[in-house]
Amino acid sequence: MATDLAEFLGAALGFNLLFHMPLIWGAVLTGLATFVIRALDRHGFRPLEGLITSMVGVIALAYIIETVLDRPDWRLIVHHALVPSFAGPESILLAAGILGATVMPHVIFLHSALAQGRIVVREPEQLRRLYRLELLDVAIAMGVAGLVNAAMSIMAASTFHREGLTHVATIEEAYQTLTPLLGPAASWIFAISLLASGLSSATVGTMSGQVTSFVANLIVALNLYLLLRTAMGR
């Protein structure tokens, strides 16, 4: 719930920034949109997957455009991509935060649950092939997520840190500051990417909650069963 709250708020802020509506109405629209997206499950997993993939594509495209507009120092980026370095405790906390934003535990549960019922095989050779394909699937998903997070960090560093704007601490401040720095298109692109990110993440977070709630209830039931057996044995 705590993770989904941040994702839900991101979509509500996206509605707020794009359409200048009160945040409460942005939250209501986010809730309705999440229910509508989840309803696509009735038509199989392909439509829902296609929509989530499209929103991730919008996010990636938005940050590619903003990174191009920002014209970062690519030589420096390539150097530090190959030779990482830390600049004090804050940089370590930032790196841990980026890792946590890319590899999220609840999504790992969701991916495992979705993959189980997708293709059911019994033969050992087919199981090995399915396992290799799953590894490729995870590698591609984590790679794309890592690149999007890297693009966010590059854009923020090149836009704000380079200009000495270290006081920017909220999404609203970032949105307002992008216009004078990169032009009016940059703030709109930022708001669109925020909305797409919030809606896709809120949907995935809701789906993860359904999976993890089932897992949690199963664990509680198993523990109760074991306790009862232990008590009856005594």
pLDDT at 91: 82
pLDDT of 54: 92
What SS3 string covers 58-81? HHHHHHHHHHHHHCCCHHHHHHHH
List the domain boundaries for the chain.
2-233
Average pLDDT, 10 consecutive residues per value, the chain (234 residues)? 76 87 88 89 83 89 82 85 83 80 70 71 82 83 81 80 67 68 77 88 81 66 67 62
26, two tokens: 């942005």
CA distance 81 to 99: 15
- Sign of the CA dihedral running 12, 17, 18, 21: positive
Copy the structure tokens of residue 87: 């600049």
